[in-house]
Amino acid sequence: MKFDKKLTFSSPIKMLFLTIFSGLLFSPLVNAETTNKDKIAFPEYVKQLKIEAKENGISAEVIDKAFANVEFLQRSVKSDKEQPEFKLTLDTYIPRAVPDWKIEQAREAYKKHYQLLHEIGKAYGVQPRFIVALWGIETNFGRFTGNHYIISSLTTMAYEGRREALFKKQLFAALLILQQGHVQPKDFIGSWAGAMGQVQFMPTSYLNYAVDYDGDGKKDIWNTYADIFASAANYLKTEGWHADETWGRQVLLPADFDLQLAESKVQKSLQEWQDLGVRRYNGDALPKVDINATIVIPDDKNGRIYLAYNNYHVLMHWNRSYYFATAVSYLSERINQPSIDATEK
């Protein structure tokens, strides 16, 4: 899901993703708190939201149409509150998030859309394999985009109350999207948490990053490949993507490695990491290129360890989760075998 980097949506989306793809649920612990449900009824809450929406510049016509079929989604509340069944590690997560069949489908999708992907990749300075990898991780190449009416999802999440301000902000952004005419309410669907279309943008991310690449006047991240790919690429470009670099690589640390260097996210050149004893996963020396990187240890020092370049951190703007960034990186790498983007460092 394309996330507004100022917001932290990673847990509901990760839960959705895992619910769909692996039947597991995974999220940080959730505190039970007082919700609006204890205060006022849902229809009354909707009435107040409509007044606030008008104050936020949404027309009466759009408001009436948008809320005409709004409903409380028990599913959203349930999904948001569910607890992990057990703790995942990258060793158990990656094979579930990126199974072999997904790698095959990613390669097929890459070939099928080769021309469009390369045109957009060039226009935005993003290697196409990363666009395809994001697309595959987010929605299984557009197959699982969610089937909830976005206004219902966001109204429910706001009403539920734990993160009311955040979801109200998303709701008003969603209404603005309707007001701009990009999509009709009947087609305005996505996840229970409000992530939309084939790249799962939250509404604020949509407003910031979505692109009408085919020029028909609509930023259609639901059905138009040109808009879907360009919106993902535009997100990465805007967040500082480096077109001539890959994401990083899995590495081995020496036994005496100072783990504090990873903890504190210290940036060092590859040469400096090399001098500290960091090696490629196969034991070889690190590449001799002028790149700064950080050491990332998503699980613990016995788990998978990465040398993360700039682009890995850009992926974490999209979704603030090491697991997400690692899954996208890994899939992009598998698409790239044999090498497709031979020019990158």
Distance (Å) of CA 316 to CA 3, 236, 241: 9, 10, 12
For Ca ion, the closer of residues 3 and 222 by Cβ is: 222
Output the 3-class SS for the chain: CCCCCCCCCHHHHHHHHHHHHHCCCCCCCCCCCCCHHHCCCHHHHHHHHHHHHHHCCCCHHHHHHHHCCCCCCHHHHHHHHCCCCCCCCHHHHHHHHCCHHHHHHHHHHHHHCHHHHHHHHHHHCCCHHHHHHHHHHHHCCCCCCCCEEHHHHHHHHHHHCCCHHHHHHHHHHHHHHHHCCCCCHHHCEECCCCCECCCCECHHHHHHHCCCCCCCCCCCCCCCHHHHHHHHHHHHHHCCCCCCCCCEEEEECCCCCCCHHHHCCCCEEHHHHHHCCCEECCCCCCCCCCCEEEEECCCCCCCCCEEECHHHHHHHHHCCCHHHHHHHHHHHHHHCCCCCCCCCC
- Give how many residues touch Ca ion by CB under 5 A: 7
CB-nearer residue toward Ca ion: 82 or 214:
214
Cβ distance to Ca ion smaller for residue 214 or 272: 214
Which residue stretch of 56-64, 210-218, 229-237, 323-331 sits at the interface with Ca ion (rule: CB under 5 A)? 210-218
φ/ψ of 308, rounded to 5, equals: -100, 120
Crossing angle of helices 128-139 and 322-335, in 10° steps, is 130
Nearer to Ca ion, 137 or 230 (CB): 230
218 binds Ca ion (CB under 5 A): yes
Q: Which range, of 48-56, 198-206, 222-230, 335-343, touches Ca ion by CB under 5 A?
A: 222-230
Q: Interface mask (CB under 5 A) for Ca ion, residues 250-289, using x and -? A: ----------------------------------------
Point out which span in 219-227, 264-272, 273-281, 314-322 binds Ca ion (CB under 5 A): 219-227
Query: Is 214 a binder of Ca ion (CB under 5 A)?
Result: yes
Q: Contacting Ca ion (CB under 5 A), which of 164, 212, 272, 341?
A: 212
Q: Which stretch binds Ca ion (CB under 5 A): 31-39, 135-143, 214-222, 310-318?
A: 214-222
227 binds Ca ion (CB under 5 A): yes
CB 220 → Ca ion: shortest distance, Å? 5
Pick between residue 153 and residue 224 the one whose CB is nearest to Ca ion. 224
Burial of 275 (0-12, 13-18, 19+ CB in 10 A): exposed
Tell me which stretch binds Ca ion (CB under 5 A): 48-56, 221-229, 296-304, 331-339. 221-229
When CB distances to Ca ion are compared, the closest residue is: 212
Compute the least distance from the CB of residue 179 to Ca ion, in Å: 17
Cβ proximity to Ca ion: between 108 and 216 the closer is 216
Residue 107 interacts with Ca ion (CB under 5 A): yes or no: no
Could you tell me which stretch among 44-52, 218-226, 247-255, 300-308 binds Ca ion (CB under 5 A)?
Answer: 218-226
CB of 206 to Ca ion, least distance (A): 13
Closest CB to Ca ion among residues 218, 279:
218
Selected from 85, 187, 216, 263, the binder of Ca ion by CB under 5 A is 216
Binding site for Ca ion (CB under 5 A): 212, 214, 216, 218, 220, 224, 227
